[in-house]
Structure 1
Amino acid sequence: MMRHPGKGASLGRVAAAYVVAFGAATVWLVVGPDTPWLWLDGLIADLIATLIIFGASRMHANSSFYDAYWSVLPPYLAVYWWIAGGLGIGDVRAWLVVAVIVVWAVRLTANWVSSFPGLHHEDWRYPMIREQAGRYGTVADLVAIHLIPTLQVFLGLLPVYVALVRPTRGVGWLDWVALVVGLGAVALELAADTQMRRFLRSHQPGQVMDQGLWGWSRHPNYLGEIGFWLSLALFGIAASPRDWWWMSAGTVVMIAMFLGASIPMMEKRSLERRPEYGAVIDRVPKLLPRPPRRTVG
């Protein structure tokens, strides 16, 4: 039987893989051939880092190596675009955008670190994806678990590229709305995750979480995540209003992912493991919060 390292050693291996991945991405950005567009330079670096993390995932037979990539990549690309775009250290919008991204990234990464038990654990969805792909399991791992999420996040970051590289107008009221939405989304995610951790420490077998924020929405953490990506779209629209028609594409993709894949998979698993969850579905809305329906009888 394969022996897995403990949590500390596991986190050390994951951190080492990320140092290599982002080191390689940085080498590409610094000494590699430039393309005509900074966004394309960023995308190539992003894909290089993703492929290295994929290699580490396969080396350790654990695709949860990729989980933290979702939150580590955005501040990296944002800072690169800010520096390479030439806005300067005094640009107010740049500070607002990067501040929201950093606060979100620190919280989400810290939440992953605190909940990651070690390399003996892998997100339950990943083996299922590989098994469904049969002999193409490795291809499914690369595409579905690594590349598609990378491209989704990159699409969600394109408004940040506009705000940091080619803004057409100065800071206005919409920037401050975007700031409030972004920080509010992070606060919502923090509160939801804190309440869930407390529940998991004291819940009884088969018990379902329907208290606090989870009594108003079955997935308040996903609602907060959507709010964060919406805030980035608002920053992009504030920077270049004429591009409003495509700025929300990343947010739409995130909503589609949560509603079309993440939430259905989570709820199916919850119903299989906790039949009482059906009653929660009956009285608590899926995403947008409202007071729960009263139980009849």
Structure 2
Amino acid sequence: MADFVRMSLASAVLLVLIQCGAAGWSARVGRWAVADVVWGPGMAAVALLGLLAGPGGIVRRVVLTVIVCAWGARLGSHVWRRMRGHDRDDPRYVRMAEGRSRTTMMLSVFGIQGLTQWVVTLPVQVAAVSSDPDGSRWWIAVLGVVTACSGTVVEAVADHQLEQYKRQDPRPRIMDRGLWGWSRHPNYFGDACVWVGIFLVAATGWPGVLTVVSPIAMVGLLVWGSGVRLAERAMDGRPGIAEYRERTSVFVPWPPRTR
């Protein structure tokens, strides 16, 4: 337990430093969306810390570091390209900043994000200081790896399909092709699978099962926090959206309903 406490404290310090750097970057460029760029890479940094400094089983440390770094690097580069493609800040942050001081926004954006990153990476922190599983528990770890890798692929494919849609001219009213024909938010579903899978890997060793708060927090954030809920609100009133919502699952990919 002492090793876990030390790893969690070290992870917290690392994330504070990352968020302070992100806040400074945000102030320099005048864009709150910088927070989205460092979201994935910040959690990848925690995985690297666990790999380099953790005394736990080497197999899980290496596997989780590869998964989290691949996920974080892809997501960070994707958001960075998206941010560079616009000369204005993300409308979510513009609305959030209305009536708030800069200090309040800094704490609301970067402070809360750092705390969320720490909670979500708890399985990675536990795996960094606990032993590799033995016996039948390896099957749970394998299931977790498959789930996390599948989620990474789903998220990447969904993001690519959405990018291709946005480049079309003229652009169809609704993006309902590929994965988006089976789920209105397949990218968020893939993201959720990544962290459910990482939890399963961590849960094969004590006290990994206690970090179930991680996938719960991530799924909650994606569905009821800054993910699906805000995206659905942004689509309100768009031509064809009512029909799209009627036939397409909101989160979990499912064959579209037919009349």
TM-score by length of 1: 0.78
Other-structure match for 1:213 = 179
Q: Partners of 2:208 and 2:77 in 1: how far apart?
A: 34
1:249 CA displacement: 0.6
Q: Secondary structure at the match of 1:63?
A: coil
Seq. identity, %: 24
Corresponding residue for residue 61 of structure 2: 94
Q: Output the aligned Cα RMSD.
A: 2.2
> Do 2:18 and 2:42's aligned partners in 1 also have CA atoms closer than 8 Å?
no
Q: 1:284 to 1:120 in 2, by over 3 A?
A: same
For 1:7-86, what aligned pairs fall within 5 Å after superposition? Answer: 37-86=6-55
Query: What is the CA distance between 1:86 and its match in structure 2?
Result: 3.0
Structure 1 segment 1-297 matched on structure 2, within 5 A: 37-87=6-56, 91-117=58-84, 120-131=87-98, 134=99, 136-167=100-131, 169-170=133-134, 172-202=138-168, 204=170, 207-240=173-206, 243-244=208-209, 246-261=210-225, 262-272=227-237, 274-294=238-258, 296=259
Higher relative contact order (CA 8 A, sep 6+): 2
Question: Post-superposition shift, 1:36?
Answer: 6.2
Amino acid at match of 1:264: R
Which residue type is aligned with residue 77 of structure 2?
A
CA distance in 2, matches of 1:268, 1:206: 19
8 Å Cα contact 1:152/1:250 also seen in 2: no
Contact kept, 8 Å, 2:60 with 2:132, in 1: the verdict is: no
Unpaired segments of 5 or more residues in structure 1?
Answer: 1-34
Q: What amino acid does structure 2 have at the position aligned with 1:69?
A: V
Q: 2: CA distance between counterparts of 1:251 and 1:87?
A: 21
- In the comparison of the two structures, how many residue pairs are matched? 253
Query: In the TM superposition, what is the alpha-carbon distance from 1:113 to its structure 2 partner?
Result: 3.2
Instruction: From the CA coordinates, give the structure whose radius of gyration is larger.
Output: 1
Q: In structure 1, give the amino acid aligned to 2:107.
A: V
Deviation digits for residues 231-267 of structure 1 (CA, Å, limit 9, x no counterpart) = 1111110122x542x3221111111112213212111
AA matched with 1:158: L
Structure 2 residue runs of 5 or longer lacking an equivalent are none
How far has the Cα of 1:116 moved from its partner? 2.7
- Does structure 1 retain, via aligned residues, the 8 Å contact 2:123–2:208? no
| Worse overlay, 117-126 or 60-69 | 117-126
